Structure 1
Amino acid sequence: MTITQDSSAPLVVVVGVTGNQGGSVVKALSESDKSYRIRGLTRDTTKPTARALAAAGVQLVAVALTSENAAAAREAFKAADIVFVVTNYWEHLDVNREVAEGKMLIDAAKAVGIGLFIWSGLESIINVSHGKYPNVHHFNGKGEITEYGRQSGIPFVNVQSGWYAVNFWKLDGMKPTRVEDGTYVLALPVGPQTLLPVIDTPNDYGLFVREAIESPEFGPGSEVLTSGEDITIGDMISQLAEITGKKIVYARISDGDFMTATGLPHRIALEVLESLKYHEECGYYAGKTTADSRRHLARPTRTWSDFVRSTDWSSVLV
């Protein structure tokens, strides 16, 4: 069913509507047999992604949701039945800013009486690991916002984001690299048995948000753990090799070698390192299973092999 302008349909406000997660939420709701009005928030309504959403019936609002812009957030949330909120630590690498903005958005939703607040959270790694991994700010900040939302009294649902399937395709330090004999090596500081909840975010994340809205099993106070497929890194590499026809092997390297190989500033490399070590030791979702969160999805999710087959690897496996 197409997105509607009918005032009888629930109004869903989507923060970051032109991003991977926000765009996926719009995609999933537009596939529903239920009708939704959608108000999309973005800083730039003129970019091509925004114009395409507008053509599909999304009401676009240009707004910068910084912590000092609470009045604009309240205005953007006004009359909404449901709000989907995501913050982007990687945009500025400032965890204090992310936490302040997340809390401001929760306060804004509370002020206007939102019926359902859906938050894209992550585990607090510093808490789960009892302080062993304190530098994974993109998890820890979202974990702090999650706790604030749960204590706020608003109807709060935490739809956690899984491990992006694009990471082995997109991120320097995580791509396979070619060695002299033509073999490709993917080298990380964890064992190949490390299990990840891999998700093709643009295609599938929104399915879990739709589930949180439409399934009576979920609702205020619930938690949804997103995953297209739970798969080990070793199996991911084996499938990548089989599908692409390239010789690709996995190697476990030292923490120091990994940090050097990323080419990232020390504090960012340390953050990535600690996140991987945590995933191996504690589990991405701290040992919680994703099975219940997949029971009421509107359609099947893409597996890792599905993602590999739908992706052009020529820029990585040259």
Structure 2
Amino acid sequence: MITQNSSAPLIAVVGATGIQGGSVIKTLTASSKPYRVRGFTRDATKPVSQDLIAKGVEMVTVSLVVDNVKEVFKAFEGANMAFLVTNFLEHMDAERETAEAKMMIDAAKVGGVERIVWSGLPHCTKLSAGKITHVGHYDSKAAASGYGRQSGIPFVDVQAGFYASNFFNPWIAPVKRADGTYAIPLPLSPTVPLPVIDMARDYGLYVLRALEAPVFPDGSEVHTGLDITMEEVAIQLSQVTGKRIIIEQITLDQYGKKMADSGAPVHVVVDMLDAWKWFEEFGYYGGEATSSVEGLAKHPLSFREFAKAEDWSKVFM
């Protein structure tokens, strides 16, 4: 629960109005334990910020960029715990992402934070022995993870699984064919599993489990999501929507053209093509198992449950 009682621990939540930070705050709100919550935003006047303020969240207006380092350090002062996340898609710059993450870790340390939960990802270049080298949004987060583990602050890396909402993204969403059926075009074998997660509803469950563990699991990695093949995704989505949907395995070149035609920058296309290679050859978490759901406050939604909860009218028109 969110409280103003000064005896409750204060947790600083980066990305409070975004998907991951918002999920963390939602889960903290539902916890039986009291928390003071400080949310970071660049605009405290927007409706989602105002809604959080009404729920008792202290909203701090701050731009988490290196040029604003003094204000960033100030924003973390007095916090007991912190949830940190970066937004690669905002600028699509891997070096900037790592630099901003390191700055936040430094700020948390100086501000007195005793526990950090960070949203990282595996290091594709290292784990593939140099075979997969262009997944910048993975490697940049992994570099920050290494920095965090060496910071001296107890540090847990709760890695984001494959967003279930990706199936609304035009790069992945089902495409209607001439015969009235739909195909999900992916450069991935239909039998390869991905750890799919409803990020907005369920990511915070894994963060809360780490924060409320009897012993904070310092140094651990948490791999969120529930494994499901794309073949099964198509079957379940067909059953939920009543549409006939298949997975259409396309080439990397075809997928790259689809991205480029949609206006994606060249370096982002290169990044994502290597990401699909990574999924196919090494698995989403580089061969590491998806984490158990034991001990979570509730069971995460399955893909079928996610599909039932969503409005697909703009996809299946």
Q: Is TM-score (shorter-chain normalized) higher than 0.5?
A: yes
- The aligned residue for residue 183 of structure 1 is 181
Equivalent AA in structure 2 for residue 258 of structure 1: Y
Residues in 2 aligned to 1:27 and 1:241: alpha-carbon distance in whole angstroms: 30
Alignment partner of 2:205 out of 196, 207, 212: 207
Alignment partner of 2:234 out of 221, 234, 237: 237
The answer to whether the 8 A contact 2:120-2:158 is kept is yes
Residues in 2 aligned to 1:173 and 1:160: alpha-carbon distance in whole angstroms: 22
1:98 matches 2:94 = no
Cα drift, residue 253 of structure 1: 1.1
1:311 matches 2:310 = yes
Matches within 5 A, 1:272-291: 272-291=272-291
Aligned residues with identical type, % of pairs: 46
Matches within 5 A, 1:138-149: 138-149=137-148
Secondary structure, in 3 states, of the residue corresponding to 1:73?
A: helix
Equivalent AA in structure 2 for residue 83 of structure 1: A
Cα drift, residue 29 of structure 1: 0.6
Aligned residues: 314
Task: Output the TM-score relative to the length of structure 1.
Answer: 0.96
- 1:10-60 deviations in whole A, cap 9, x for unaligned? 000001100000010000011111000000011000111100000000000
Equivalent AA in structure 1 for residue 206 of structure 2: F
Unaligned runs of 5+ in 2: none
Unaligned runs of 5+ in 1: none
Larger mean CA deviation between 300-309 and 149-158 belongs to: 149-158
Cα drift, residue 149 of structure 1: 0.8
- The aligned residue for residue 266 of structure 2 is 266
Secondary structure, in 3 states, of the residue corresponding to 2:66?
A: coil
Cα drift, residue 112 of structure 1: 2.4
Matches within 5 A, 1:1-318: 1=1, 3-169=2-168, 171-216=169-214, 218-227=216-225, 229-262=226-259, 263=261, 264-292=264-292, 294-318=293-317
Q: Which runs of 4+ in 1 moved over 3 A?
A: none
Secondary structure, in 3 states, of the residue corresponding to 1:69?
A: helix
Residues in 2 aligned to 1:235 and 1:274: alpha-carbon distance in whole angstroms: 24
Residues in 2 aligned to 1:222 and 1:271: alpha-carbon distance in whole angstroms: 26
Residues in 2 aligned to 1:202 and 1:257: alpha-carbon distance in whole angstroms: 30
Equivalent AA in structure 1 for residue 24 of structure 2: V
